[in-house]
Structure 1
Amino acid sequence: MARLRDPVSGCDWDRVQTWDTIAPYTIEEAYEVADAIARNDPADLKDELGDLLLQVVFHSRIAEEADAFTLADVVTAVSDKMERRHPHIFGDADTFPGWEAIKATERAAKPDPSALAGVAIGLPALLRAEKLQKRAARVGFDWPDADGSLAKVHEEIAEVQSAGPDTVEEEIGDLLFAVTNWARHLGIDPEAALRAGNAKFERRFRAMEVEAGDAFADLDLAGKEALWQTVKHRDG
């Protein structure tokens, strides 16, 4: 990476990159790791983990050039964190105090002591919504059961229906946030549920295309809906 970033003999693309410009690639590589795991493809997982590791090296090299930190500092920091968070393994504690107790102590030592501190802005919105809700729940700001969260979903649907052009996007956001909360109360991972929904839609849509062949594009909406129902019934 040092050679790729060399200002004289390096790669034209690599040497002009910054943390900001490669951040999207880092996120993409993490998702490709998750995809390889979901497909149970160890060979591909090996390659994708390498691509993800390269992103860590890339970010660290940019930091080293700015005299901020090095790759060795990154490894040391995460090793220290793992030891700190496992005092019953690496320290003198007889029992494990619990992740949340340890993390709460770490948060209290940081400039932002909020219960919501540290929930990364760059997370996918659905995942971040769930994490924010879990953080709020830990300090008692939560519905006591799923019924309260379901009522909130109905409330937000009504607000979307009555919203004007200037507020409908905001209300849709509130509705998605409420649905995420409802899923959490039902013990369902909303991100996993949506991935499954995406996979189901893709599987059925592709089956429609195969079923209709070249005539698919020429079908009107009623014809496509009838075909969808046929495929859906067969899919179970």
Structure 2
Amino acid sequence: MNDIVHDPHGGLPRLIEIMRRLRDPKTGCPWDIEQTFATIAPYTIEEAHEVADAIERQAWDELKGELGDLLFQSVFHAQMASEQGLFDIHEVADTMSDKMVARHPHVFGDESRDKSAAQQTKDWEAIKAAERAARAETRTLDGVALGLPALLRALKLQNRAARVGFDWPETAQVLDKLVEEARELEAARDRLGHDEIEDEIGDLLFVMANLARHLGVDPEKALRRTNAKFTRRFNQVEDDLRARGKRPQDSDLAEMDALWDAAKAREKSD
């Protein structure tokens, strides 16, 4: 019988077995053996972001591999849980299947499919609220994951609060708050300590996330888009400097700023 580890078509059972052997305390990989949930969690977050990055770039040839990396993270966590007698990968899959069936009664139950996307979203939130209640998460903000990127968590916290009426009714009020927070920071920056400045910056970013929400914009997506734009334009600045026989450290702000403006103008003309 062939070893499933070397079967190129072994699928998920092959990956599960590979992970089991990597963690074998006698014959496995020393690095894999010493890992814990806490040490692997940052890699899980990183792999999820790499999936999102491939999608953002429409790099479909890379997406399969990135999804595989993310799947491996789930298998890794499940293997560690299995070793501790908590659960295994099959229970993980069953839990997800149970959740999807319960949250889609219009597909897997006897509810009508004749509903709008908005109504389905409302029903989905009602089902999730019932699930949180069953877990004794009775407060409005309970269950919003601490490990989310900060901007995304701010958005989710604000959405939760808005559902119970804690929200500005008009975008203009959010803009006023944004100006207020910026002025507070400007007025106090020379007399505040580092922790206080960090607190004020946090307030400013939180209001920015709220403004994005009121305008129907995903702040994480908006910032990723700006990061990509900055990278693209700065790369062009470096290319233009290279054409002059220079590196950024050989230049100055005035020259690089002029090249930046030129790169920006070329983008807009294209």
> TM-score normalised to the size of structure 2?
0.84
CA shift digits 1:102-156 (9 cap, x unpaired)? 1111112122211212111111111111111111111110010211111110111
Question: Which residue, 125, 139, 157 being the options, matches 1:132?
Answer: 157
SS of corresponding position for 1:167: helix
Give, as a single letter, the amino acid of the residue that structure 1 aligns with 2:236: A
The reply on whether 1:107 has 2:139 as its aligned counterpart is no
Post-superposition shift, 1:58? 0.4
Match of 2:3 in 1: none
Aligned to 1:83, which of 92, 101, 125? 101
TM-score normalised per structure 1: 0.96
After TM superposition, the structure 1 stretch with the greater mean CA deviation from structure 2, 214-223 or 65-74, is 214-223
Q: Does 1:151 align with 2:151?
A: no
Report how far residue 217 of structure 1 moved.
2.5
- Per mean C-alpha deviation after superposition, the further-off stretch among 38-47 and 194-203 is 38-47
Find the counterpart in structure 2 of residue 9 from structure 1. 27
C-alpha distance in 2, partners of 1:178/1:35?
A: 26
Distance 1:231 1:36 in 2: 25
Q: What displacement does 1:100 show?
A: 1.1
**Whole-angstrom CA distance in 1 between matches of 2:149 and 2:76:** 22
Separation in 1, partners of 2:62, 2:170:
41
How many positions carry a matched residue from both structures?
Answer: 236
2:210 paired residue number: 181
Deviation >3 Å, runs of 4+: 94-97
Aligned equivalents of 1:81, 1:46: Cα separation in 2: 25
Counterpart of 1:167 in structure 2 is: 196
Distance across 1 between alignment mates of 2:106 and 2:262 = 57
Query: Match of 1:71, as an amino acid?
Result: I
Aligned-partner Cα distance in 2 for 1:210–1:220 = 15
Letter aligned with residue 133 of structure 1: Q
Equivalent-residue separation in structure 1 for 2:137 and 2:131 (angstroms): 11
Q: Quick one: structure 1 residues 199 and 12, their matched pair in 2 at CA, closer, same or farther if it must change by over 3 Å?
A: same
User: Which of 26, 36, 39 matches 2:44?
Assistant: 26
Residue among 121, 133, 141 paired with 2:166 = 141
Tell me the distance in 1 between the aligned counterparts of 2:187 and 2:27. 61
Counterpart position of 2:8: none
Matched, 1:121 2:146: yes
Match in the other structure for 1:233: 265
What SS does the aligned partner of 1:29 have? helix
Corresponding residue number in structure 1 for 2:88: 70
Uncovered stretches (5+) of structure 2, i.e. residues with no partner: 1-18, 114-119
Displacement after TM superposition at 1:225 (Å)? 1.4
Per-residue CA deviations over 1:70-111 (Å, capped at 9, x if unaligned) read 111100000000011011221223365711111111112122
**Deviations 1:150-197 (Å, cap 9, x if unpaired)?**
111011101211331241110000000001101110111111111111
Q: How does 1:204-223 map to 2 (within 5 A)?
A: 204-213=233-242, 214-215=245-246, 216-223=248-255
Q: C-alpha distance in 1, partners of 2:43/2:251? A: 39
Cα distance in 2 between the residues matched to 1:42 and 1:186: 30
What runs of 5+ residues in structure 1 fail to find an aligned partner?
none
